[in-house]
Amino acid sequence: MTPSSTDAEIARTVTLRPIQEVAAGLGLPSEAVIPYGRTKAKLSLDLLMRPVRDPRPRYVCVTGMSPTPAGEGKTTTVIGLGDALNRRGRRTVITLREPSMGPVFGAKGPATGGGRAQVAPRAEINLHFTGDFYAVERAHNLLAAMVDNHIHFGNDPWLDPRSIVWRRVMDMNDRALRTTMVGLGGRAHGVPRETGFDITAASEVMSVLTLSTGMADLRERLGRMVVGAGAEGVRITAASLQAVGAMTALLSDAIRPNLVQTLEGTPALVHCGPFANISIGASSVIADQMAAGLSDFVVTESGFGADLGFEKFCNIKTRVSGMIPDCAVLVATVRAIKFHSGRYRGVPAAELSRRLSEPDLDALRAGAANLAHHVGIIRRFGVPAVVALNRFASDSEAEIELALQLAREAGAAEAAVAEHHAAGGAGAEALAEAVERAAAAPSNFAPLYELDAPLREKIQLVATQVYGAEGVAYDQNVSRQLTALERQGFGALPVCMAKTPQSISHDPRLLGHPAGFILPINGVRLFAGAGFVTALCGDISLMPGLGRRPAAVDIDVDAAGNIVGF
């Protein structure tokens, strides 16, 4: 393969092992493995009964600095690090989120890594995979249909049409569906009301599936989901509408983690796919707990930067899983650090890559504030930070050395150059060594806040201690909603912040390390089943739109039947 080979071309040079061999390498009995073709399988929930290995496996979370158009390679780093740890004799399982077809056909593209650090089968994972996203979508929309049917027939308990908060979902970016009307066409077609669509990755059902610890917990969480209010403001739930049994049935296969492999044969559990900017941004608790019973190292990923995915990983996911991170890997690149200097504003997209490839130590120093802030977020949770500097061919040696120096000055316990994109696991061995050293050190992990703190205090702490805001501004209606939620017994839930990933702040135009801003909270949503309250910051939407030239225009099938153009 040439240096310019595409990810698909590289993947086609590798003959994947039958999935039964991958499972056997983990010591799994054949009855626990449910094959979906030759190279992917689901795993039985009975594996959750296996005890965690002794000594306890090291738990590593990969996060990143604020994303840029230059790309940082977080998923690629999870894969490369897993391969490198296995090369070093450390029995490792990686856990990743499933791709949403919204980003696959939109701007971000596929979510299976790149170069020689990929999970496979690539096209299948990025498209239909094992049907988990469809199951979530159908379970969510079944409840939506039952809500409208309940109102149409006037069933008990009475449900106020004006109170309904349960929207529909689909796994595609489609801004035209953000606000819709249903029930039009006369009495036979239901009760007219305004509603809308969110993307499936933002569905509460997706978060419930991600945070469930088993089938019974899944069922109980689904039952708690609130769809609206009835007489005297009583909250009506999925259990009130007797929808839980059918929803659980639709999710009974999706709850099982999916086993695949990297190009080097490292086992990978790819399961659930909530976005990090509008949801919790983590792979499933079940996948992580299952991996802990099978390995010496579990390497997982939290979406977007440390301000988003890692914050929620620490404040929400760890409280459910009971698994404490031993270290966090912060992915950075020379190009991304320079981009956050703000010196490339207005540069046409066609020119940006070339400009970022030109050596500029001053831009690197100016942009390092973003890197430093994300290192500080990790350290604030008491977790050692390892900076993985993904190397591009255009990076100069002087830039590499300065970036590593800046990472250490920011407080990183370790900093290492990573070249897994070009060289696979062999290119990440220095990073793996750094992770082993950092993960062996004592961890002082602690969430940012106590659950019994008021909701406003939790939001304030995330805004000021994680984002660096001076304060928080609440819409008047939001203040009333927060007061009502606490009065109704939901004040002890953690908060899930929904905001732009492109800045540490709520404003995507504010690069680097913004200061002096006030974080606006323009909406809140109760996710009672998932177990958190979502705060909507700025102009965030739970249904993304496609760009002017979406990735979908490049995707096709060639004459040999290969899916191309990712």
CB 371 within 8 Å of CB 406: yes
pLDDT at 116: 95
CB-based contacts of 422, cutoff 8 Å, min separation 6: 3, 115, 116, 391
Q: How many alpha carbons lie under 13 Å from residue 230 in its C-beta half-sphere?
A: 17
Domain with CATH 3.30.1510.10 in the chain: 132-251
pLDDT at 108: 67
Residues of the chain scoring pLDDT < 50: 1-2
CB-based contacts of 105, cutoff 8 Å, min separation 6: 172, 173, 546, 550, 551, 552, 555
Q: Which residues of 448-458 are buried (b: 16+ CB within 10 A; e: fewer)?
A: bbeeebebbeb
CA distances from 216 to 55, 75, 190, 221, 284 (A): 29, 31, 34, 9, 16
Q: How many residues does the chain have?
A: 566
CB-based contacts of 79, cutoff 8 Å, min separation 6: 94, 96, 113, 117, 118, 119, 262, 266, 268, 420
Element (H, E) at 193: strand 193-195
pLDDT at 554: 80
Domain with CATH 3.40.50.300 in the chain: 7-130+254-440
Residues forming a β-bridge with 498: 536
Apex CA 104: angle with CA 103 and CA 109, to 5°? 90
CB-based contacts of 564, cutoff 8 Å, min separation 6: 8, 555, 556, 557, 558
**Encoded tokens for 226:** 């609130």
Element (H, E) at 401: helix 397-409
pLDDT at 1: 43
Helix H, strand E, coil C: the string for 172-189 is CCCHHHCCEEECCCCHHH
Domain 132-251's class?
alpha beta
pLDDT at 4: 59
pLDDT at 563: 82
pLDDT at 543: 85
7-130+254-440 maps to which CATH number?
3.40.50.300
Domain with CATH 3.10.410.10 in the chain: 455-537
**455-537: CATH architecture:** Roll (3.10)
Amino acid at 364: L
φ, ψ at 242 (rounded to 5°): 55, 40
